[in-house]
Structure 1
């Protein structure tokens, strides 16, 4: 037992050292930098500047609003697809083909995919041409350089993460629980909402957390698809560091974004705890 404990601690040493060296220490440096002024004095002036301006607060709210829309859209697309891949498709080679289709976009750069959506959503792009050909609109719609274009592009990029996370949980759910619910008189819809969906909540929570955090910190896709007309926090932080050279305020924006994200994630995990297997069995009965 003592040897196993030492082996576990030894295995954890390298990951812990990696986190300390490349996350904890840089974050500590950034946090300290955010508490200083341009002349080196210690102050909360950077945070006062942040909370006293509606512009920065609006950018922060816009960033989280985009992340929420992308998370919701990824869930609405990803859950049915994950369910179809794990529960409906029976042939193994078709499942493998679907998984390949889902993960293939991950091997392409975000820059390439973002420019692809610029072509699709342009005034003479495939989407507008299709809408006009179907008679749904007489003029090309403004689908680029707005919030909608960012949500569409980010949803396309983030949906594979949602699908893979949820499908990993769905394929491990004991199918006899669903069979028991059906034997007790539950129809397929009731069985899904009373048994399958509650048991898949760990995958839903993990998937939504992954999508939300990745979207909050995204830079390339929002900067390309917004056309410079919309600003998210990652773009604002980059401007402070690379264009304005206000490192102290850039650090304050970084800390504020990370702190707000951690608070939202903590609240989500507290109020979004999945039901236990025992409670699901009782509900099915």
Structure 2
């Protein structure tokens, strides 16, 4: 951790105070005073929150069904393998797969036109929606893996006891199942959110250069502008903002679970 995380992070932090010209705080003054950087940051968090919400809903439904409704072991294994198999494929390959699906002559447009839903091809690709959908697909296995590990440790006798005492399915879910699965929800949400915030490949491929998020902006300053100090300042800005949001999330959750 010290060698591969703490030391590189300290180097980025020090570099952010070393602009080619001006005082040491020049980069942070420029970031704080320019609305463009804040818009990019908010856009990054907006997309990441949507991805976290979508993966939570889909991942929870799938993991819950996998552990409490699918009884045949063979089917459970097949569903589980199908859910985590995309992890063995590169993000670039998966993103290009969605380009084929969402293109103007892609499978989705062709299907909708043949069903009469669309009268002409609709712009599905290179939009915020295409980035959110593809990122949700990329991040979904992480949510499923995290939730599934928690569901496997829930004692089924607790659910049976709740129903024996007269609680209906909804009461049992909200009073027993969901509170017991909350550690998985927290861990899965944090993993998906942090990975989405730092995602570079999927937003750059699926937006076609029309959507700017912080990882792309940081990359441009490092590799295109060759302004390492500004790139480092933006990286620190993203890190501090992410830590702040996660801290607020954990604080609210802690008060809720008391």
Q: TM-score, normalised by structure 2?
A: 0.97
Match of 2:15 in 1: 33
Q: What SS does structure 2 have at the residue aligned with 1:218?
A: coil
Instruction: Report the alpha carbon displacement of residue 265 of structure 1 after superposing the two structures with TM.
Output: 1.0
Give the aligned partner of residue 67 of structure 1: 48
- Mapped partners of 2:212, 2:233: distance in 1: 17
Match runs of 1:127-276 below 5 Å: 127-273=108-254
Match of 1:123 in 2: 104
Q: Which runs of 4+ in 1 moved over 4 A?
A: none
Provide, for residues 217-248 of structure 1, a one-character-per-residue CA deviation record: whole Å limited to 9, x for no partner: 00000000000000110000000000001111
Q: Report what 1:102 is aligned to.
A: 83
Contact 1:161-1:210 at 8 Å conserved across structures: yes
Deviation at 1:273, TM superposition (A): 3.0
Shift of 1:171: 1.4
Shift in alpha-carbon separation, 1:120–1:33, aligned structure 2, 3 A: same
Residue by residue over 1:97-139, the C-alpha shift from the partner in whole angstroms, topping out at 9 and shown as x without a partner, is: 1111111110000000001101100001011111111111212
Aligned counterpart, 1:22: 4
Count of aligned positions: 258
- 1:274 deviates by 8.7
Aligned counterparts of 1:272 and 1:130: Cα–Cα separation in 2: 42
Could you give the per-residue CA deviations for residues 20-42 of structure 1, whole angstroms, max 9, x where no partner exists? 11111111111011112214x65
Task: Assess if the C-alpha contact under 8 Å between 1:63 and 1:233 holds in 2.
Answer: yes
Secondary structure of the 1:272 match is: helix
1:50-103 per-position Cα deviation (integer Å, ceiling 9, x unaligned): 121111111100001010000000011110000011111112222111111111
Task: Report the 3-state secondary structure (helix = DSSP H, G, I; strand = E; otherwise coil) of the residue aligned with 2:93.
Answer: helix
- Post-superposition offset of 1:146: 1.2
Q: Post-superposition shift, 1:266?
A: 1.3
What is the Cα deviation at residue 154 of structure 1?
Answer: 0.2
Structure 1 unmatched runs, 5+? 1-18, 280-285
For structure 2, the residue ranges without an aligned partner over 5 or more in a row are: none
Q: Contact conserved, 1:199 with 1:274, CA < 8 A, in 2?
A: no
Query: Are 2:66 and 1:77 aligned?
Result: no
- Mean alpha-carbon deviation: is it higher for 96-105 or for 114-123? 96-105
Between the aligned partners of 1:202 and 1:42, the Cα distance in structure 2 is: 45
The answer on whether the counterparts of 1:198 and 1:275 sit within 8 Å (CA) in structure 2 is no
Q: Could you tell me which of 30, 37, 50 is aligned with 1:49?
A: 30
